[in-house]
Amino acid sequence: MYNLDEKDLVKLFEERFSNEFDIHKEFTDDSRKNRIDFILQHKKYDLLIGVECKHTYTKRGTEVGKIVQQAIRYSVAKFMGKRIPVFLFPPISKEIFVTPLKTVELNDQISIYVDRHHNDSAYHHTFNGFLGAFNVGEIIPKKDGSIFMFSNDIIYNSYKDPKYAGYFNQHKYHNLLKKINSFELNDHFSRH
């Protein structure tokens, strides 16, 4: 997935989620200033989210920062009269940002960092919590589905996992809606 260009990434996303969601492509916000890649409306649940697809694997820190800024901007915009949760796809936490558990020295010139969350079954990651503080979540692909994570909380998963009751955590989603509706950029970036 990480070697796809953005056009193919968008196509993959549509194929992956079209059975569960009505997908609205390149959706413009109410102010007509922002255009997000997707608005997803779940076919069964009262679940509405925005998704920005960006190929980040080969990007440098400044470029990744601009993608996060863009997602933050979308998170305070109104789509269809309301703010909605915004998720990045693919995720940047595990693929871009490492939180080292240990360093393995291979020789005098090469070191490998082992991430604290190196186990693929780990649902959370330090950087996902970091993104959540800025009003942004991630969609994390797994072998048998995908997980919609926001501040290390699973909001929705596209497969049944016995650890979590059902596909959609309505309580966490409604708490998330309260959080994004109270989020103001000025509050988070003002001097204290």
pLDDT, tens only, 73-87: 999 999 999 999 999
Output the DSSP codes for 84-153. --EEEES-SHHHH---EEEEEE-SSS-EEEEETT-STT----HHHHHHHHTT-EEEEEETTEEEEEETTE
Looking at every residue in the chain, the average pLDDT score rounds to 78
**Which band of pLDDT confidence, cut at 50, 70 and 90, is reported for residue 177?**
very high
Considering just the CA atoms, what is the radius of gyration of the chain in Å? 17
Condensed to tens digits (0 to 9), the pLDDT of residues 13-45 reads 888 888 889 999 999 999 999 999 999 999 888
- Quote the CA–CA distance of 188 and 178 in Å, as a whole number: 16
Condensed to tens digits (0 to 9), the pLDDT of residues 95-129 reads 655 554 555 566 666 655 555 545 555 565 667 77
* pLDDT beyond 80 at 161: no
Closest CA to 22 of 37, 36, 43: 43
65 vs 4 pLDDT, higher one: 65
Return the pLDDT at 32.
95
- Quote the CA–CA distance of 183 and 162 in Å, as a whole number: 32
CB 172 within 8 A of CB 153: yes
